[in-house]
Amino acid sequence: MLIEVNVVLKMFLPDEHVHSIFEIRPDDLKEKGIKGIITDLDNTLVAWDQKDATKEVEQWFKLMKENDIQVTIMSNNNEERVTSFSEPLNIPFIHSARKPLGQAFRQARKVMKLEKKEIVVVGDQLLTDVLGGNRANLYTILVVPIVQTDGVFTRINRKVERRLLSWFQRKGYISWEEERWKK
């Protein structure tokens, strides 16, 4: 029984952890054979209550495009929110994704025309982004949330995430520690 619990809990374990998307660099991705990024929007690219991309985020998208790395924004947020953010940037997107369910991940993979081993999922939540990416057998990168405030449903997820991260640390599965995850 304990082995089964460990296997299930490891579905929430990211392959990598970074403080922000700006630590994700094209050369590092190419070394891993990555040609596409599925990225969350809220608290991953910008604060959940920020309407538009920052200049730095725009530059990051441009850098990825210049290095032939496709990016697709995938969000559980509504069509209006995701469309108004993504369309001005000319970035493909999926709204109302219902992460961690697999349909949107399959849809993004099909749109990008890439193999699973060529895609990375980037996001700030274990229960949606990491779990969904891991269930889809994709490489996952967890980023520290941009702001410490969240929408109502995400606040509930954060409580579960803190417990999971604490368990991962105690078991030695992760070596990083981030104060923002503890609050």
Q: Tokens 């290095």 — which residue?
A: 67
Spell out the domain ranges in the chain: 10-147
pLDDT of residue 161: 87
**Number of residues that this document lists for the chain:** 183
pLDDT of residue 141: 97
Question: For the chain, what percent of residues have pLDDT higher than 70?
Answer: 90
Q: Among 87, 90, 38, 43, which residue's Cα sits nearest to residue 62?
A: 90
Q: Among 73, 81, 7, 5, which residue's Cα sits nearest to residue 40?
A: 73
Whole-angstrom Cα distance, residue 153 to residue 40?
Answer: 16
Burial 32-67 (b: 16+ CB within 10 A, else e): eebbbbbbbbbbbbbbbebeebeeebeebbeebeee
Whole-angstrom Cα distance, residue 158 to residue 150?
Answer: 9
β-pairing, 16-18 with 70-74? Answer: unpaired
CATH number, domain 10-147, options 3.40.50.1100, 3.40.50.1000, 3.40.309.10, 3.30.300.130: 3.40.50.1000
- What is the number of other CB atoms lying within 10 angstroms of the CB of residue 10? 12
pLDDT in tens, 60-78: 999 999 999 999 999 999 9
pLDDT of residue 148: 74
Cβ proximity of 114 and 36 under 8 Å: yes
Instruction: Give 65's Cβ-side CA count (13 Å radius).
Output: 11
pTM score of the predicted model: 0.89
User: Which segments of the chain have a pLDDT < 70?
Assistant: 1-5, 149-153, 177-183
pLDDT of residue 171: 80
